Structure 1
Amino acid sequence: MGVYSYNLRRKDLTFNNPQNKAILKDKGSWLSSLSLVVYALCFSIAYVELDTGTGALILFSAVQLTMIGWGIYKKEQLSALQWLAFIVAVAGFVYLMLPSAAVPSVLAATLMAISGVAWGIYSIRGKTCVSPLRATGFNFIRSLVAIPLLLIIGMVYLKNMPLATISIEGILLACASGAIASGMGYSVWYMAMPLLKSTQAAVVQLCVPVLAAILGVVFLSEQLTLPFILASAVILGAVLVFILNKKTLQTVS
């Protein structure tokens, strides 16, 4: 019996297993990689001129419009309660971000909006993901194609900045932040995307600023204010109502 079970396990691990074949074929896509590059590049450039609140408002507004728009296009049905929960969550998010917002420049605002659309597309592409880690890895590898071009542009743009100011420590920290921290985060997001409707995934992302602010309070000793507590409670509560109302999320054939 033990030998039989062992042979069955070996058989499941062979490349002939359909599930294993599907995993091995999941190598991301050029569209996902392009979306990732556009998101990161526009995000980085735009935030040089944007305040935190302004950038977050523009970014998440673009993400919401992209993903919910796609969900509506795919005929995902939302109930009146879910629409109300979504509006309340957005209102709470605006209330949380508005105090640090300022009137942005047209170029910076446009770049941040493009970044939000690109992230929305990258998220939507994750719905067909079979192996999140492999897909993320291959998407990152494809994105390396853009490095030579970006390096040239960066050298021209930063021509007055001496190369001596670039440290090995800075390069290593940038690699760790991008390849390790972001890579792990994107893999987890791609694990969640197939389990969510586009509209669900869009609304869930409104929790990100709240979680970031909470971590700032815990690890950076940032001040915990009453407006933050109220806004966080409104956002998280509205998102919970939206997710628990499962009745809506049926796709019309």
Structure 2
Amino acid sequence: MALIAFAANSVLCRLALGEGTIDAAGFTVVRLVSGMLTLGLILQCQRKSPRSVSRGSWGSGAMLFLYAIAFSFAYLSLDTGTGALILFGSVQVTMVLLTVLSGHRLIWSEWLGLIMAFTGFVYLILPGVTTPSLLGFCLMAIAGIGWGVYTLRGRGSANPLMDTTYNFLRALPWVLVTLLLAHDRFSFSSQGLLLALMSGGLASGVGYAIWYTALRELSATQAAVVQLLVPVIAALGGVMFVSEPITLRLTIAGGVILGGILMVVLGRYYTARGRGAV
């Protein structure tokens, strides 16, 4: 569910910005504010008090904003599939690198799965599909770094819904700065506003809370690699909703990425099981 929400964000953002129905700064502001309000409403509707009180962190709020603002401006010059590939390729590199630097050792099946998934990623963005602009590539890479750090900070969250709600709340100071700097350039239609609200309230707010819940059952490496499935979902969404073409390259790359994800997710379990049998 979380991965579908991530892919929906790429499709919704591309629909809104690609057709000029809203500006990038305005999309980010509406997205983050609507996400915060939706999460706050859900939190208030909980009938019982949470077992643990968790209020996110200022660092996570800053990373959430960095991801969201870079993500929006990057999609001014990227198509849906290419943008998602750059984003989650950067996420994977960031999370795996930080995990290895923290002292966690990967087993052979995780390394092989990483190589397979990343090979599929590189194959899909090679010239011949859509060559991204340098600015778009850099902005989406920054968005990926922000999301990778945000994800790692959320692992082990005792109360995913509350943490996510407060992370959105802690991003508000940055939203206010954006309003002050870019309010005179805001431009949006009813369609653009609706797409931003859907991205914020459903795909971001609810989707991120689900993601924080899922992280409790995933290793950092698994969380990094499984997100490479999002570009495939996003590219298919681009085909269905943005009339972008489906290609043989997308099909091959999707299969390689899925195979790599399978090796990472299942490899450690079966390796440990085999050692236990010995």
| 1:176 aligns to 2:198 (yes or no) | yes
Tell me which residue corresponds to 2:89: 61
User: Which amino acid is the alignment partner of residue 209 of structure 2?
Assistant: S
Q: Taking every aligned residue pair, what percent have the same amino acid on both sides?
A: 45
How big is each residue's C-alpha offset from its partner over 1:64-84, in whole Å with a ceiling of 9 and x where there is no partner?
221001211232222223212
CA distance in 2, matches of 1:101, 1:224: 12
Q: 1:227 to 1:65 in 2, by over 3 A?
A: closer
SS at match of 1:78: coil
How big is each residue's C-alpha offset from its partner over 1:211-241, in whole Å with a ceiling of 9 and x where there is no partner?
2233445666765443322222211122111
Tell me which residue corresponds to 1:5: none
- 1:23-172 superposed matches below 5 A: 25-52=53-80, 55-98=83-126, 99-102=128-131, 104-105=133-134, 107-156=135-184, 158=185, 166-172=188-194
Q: 1:185 to 1:60 in 2, by over 3 A?
A: same
Contact 2:95 2:152 in 1 (8 A): yes
Contact 1:59 1:113 in 2 (8 A): yes
How high is the TM-score relative to the length of structure 1? 0.77
Tell me which residue corresponds to 2:236: 214
The structure whose Rg is larger is 1
- Tell me, which stretches of 5 or more residues in structure 2 are unaligned? 1-46, 273-278
| 1:228 aligns to 2:243 (yes or no) | no
Q: How far did 1:195 drift?
A: 1.2
How high is the TM-score relative to the length of structure 2? 0.70
CA distance in 2, matches of 1:46, 1:232: 23
Tell me which residue corresponds to 1:203: 225
Q: 1:220 to 1:148 in 2, by over 3 A?
A: closer
Contact 1:51 1:102 in 2 (8 A): no
The structure whose RCO (Cα within 8 Å, separation 6+) is larger is 2
Number of positions where the alignment pairs a residue of Structure 1 with one of Structure 2 = 224
- Tell me, which stretches of 5 or more residues in structure 1 are unaligned? 1-12
Tell me which residue corresponds to 2:209: 187
What do you get for the CA RMSD once the two structures are aligned?
2.7
Q: 1:230 to 1:100 in 2, by over 3 A?
A: closer
CA distance in 2, matches of 1:215, 1:53: 9
Q: How far did 1:243 drift?
A: 1.0
Contact 1:28 1:136 in 2 (8 A): yes
Q: 1:203 to 1:167 in 2, by over 3 A?
A: same
Contact 2:88 2:230 in 1 (8 A): no
Contact 1:54 1:104 in 2 (8 A): no
SS at match of 2:216: helix
Contact 1:59 1:115 in 2 (8 A): yes
